[in-house]
């Protein structure tokens, strides 16, 4: 069930430690704006994991006062998020928010994700672009088909019922993150997180979030790697359920 909220939380005065983790690879064009948006909404513990970028991503993030961690080789988005989440746990995070580096997420949506987690209603809040009012949806057709296919596949094999299988905007309690065993370094990590939530019976809810599609974000992994990522997730799930 989607979680209804009109949250306008001031996280500067909240007693809980909120860490925002961003996996970044060659995002120097967008990362400054992403960090500025987060700062403007009161999120100051921002961890940018530079996944061996060949551009100026890390330096730009440091100038914007983010905590920057650097991978010595390119390992993939899943590995970068895991590095950031491990750092956040060690440094006392109560809630970890994952946030994309390409400008498609909005910091204004985070408060709605935090509310059910901080209240103890759930341990994970998942962003869903499909729960928005129909007038707010702007999902490209090909992307919509891939996402809906992923939703159907997860439900068919494992009974995991979500409306958005590949949304990178999430809020997770410390307890939930500590219980997850995440091994996927690259794109299949999104399916792995949902699989862990389901297998560990971690209580979750979906919350409407807006995605901004731009020529820039669509030129990155959002469309180009969708099919490959979906196929990898499918093969892994089939292997684990029927062949392993």
The predicted structure's pLDDT at residue 77: 93
Strands (E), the chain: 18-24, 45-50, 67-70, 95-100, 124-128, 170-173, 204-208
pLDDT (average), residues 85-107: 97
The predicted structure's pLDDT at residue 151: 84
Tokens matching residue 92 = 């006392």
Question: Percentages helix, strand, coil for the chain, rounded to the nearest 5?
Answer: 45, 15, 40
What lies within 8 Å, CB to CB, of 35 at 6+ separation is 46, 48, 61, 64, 65, 66
Q: pLDDT per residue over 170-209, tens digit each? A: 999 999 999 999 988 876 788 889 989 999 999 999 999 9
- The residue count for the chain: 244
**pTM of the full structure:** 0.85
Q: pLDDT per residue over 113-169, tens digit each? A: 999 999 999 999 999 999 987 655 678 777 777 777 778 877 777 678 899 988 999
Beta carbons within 10 angstroms of residue 196's beta carbon: 18
Q: Could you give the CA distance from residue 72 to residue 235 in angstroms, rounded to a whole number? A: 29
Would you put residue 60 in left (φ > 0), alpha (ψ -120 to 50) or beta? Answer: alpha
Q: Domain 18-134+166-212 has what CATH class?
A: alpha beta
CA distances from 231 to 44, 142, 210, 214, 227 (A): 37, 15, 26, 24, 6
Pairing of strands 18-24, 204-208: unpaired
pLDDT (average), residues 69-87: 97
Question: Is residue 12 over pLDDT 70?
Answer: no
């Amino acid at each position: 069930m989607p979680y209804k909220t009109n949250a306008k939380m001031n996280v500067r005065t909240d007693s809980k430690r909120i860490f925002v983790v961003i996996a970044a690879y060659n995002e120097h064009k967008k990362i400054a704006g992403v960090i500025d948006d987060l700062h403007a909404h009161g999120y100051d513990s921002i961890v940018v994991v530079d996944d061996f970028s060949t551009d100026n991503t890390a330096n730009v993030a440091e100038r914007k006062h983010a905590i920057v961690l650097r991978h010595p080789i390119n390992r993939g988005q899943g590995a970068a998020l895991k590095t950031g989440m491990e750092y956040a746990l060690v440094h006392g995070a109560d809630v970890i928010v994952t946030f994309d580096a390409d400008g498609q997420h909005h910091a204004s949506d985070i408060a709605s994700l935090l509310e059910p987690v901080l209240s103890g209603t759930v341990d994970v809040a998942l962003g869903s672009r499909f729960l928005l009012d129909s007038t707010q949806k702007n999902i490209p057709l090909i992307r919509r088909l891939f996402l809906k296919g992923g939703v159907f596949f997860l439900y068919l094999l494992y009974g995991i019922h979500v409306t958005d299988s590949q949304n990178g905007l999430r809020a997770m309690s410390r307890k939930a993150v500590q219980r997850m065993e995440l091994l996927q370094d690259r794109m299949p990590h999104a399916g792995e997180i949902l699989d862990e939530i389901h297998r560990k019976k971690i209580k979750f809810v979906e919350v409407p979030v807006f995605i901004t599609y731009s020529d820039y974000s669509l030129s990155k992994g959002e469309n180009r790697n969708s099919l490959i990522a979906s196929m990898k997730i499918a093969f892994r799930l089939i292997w684990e359920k029927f062949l392993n």
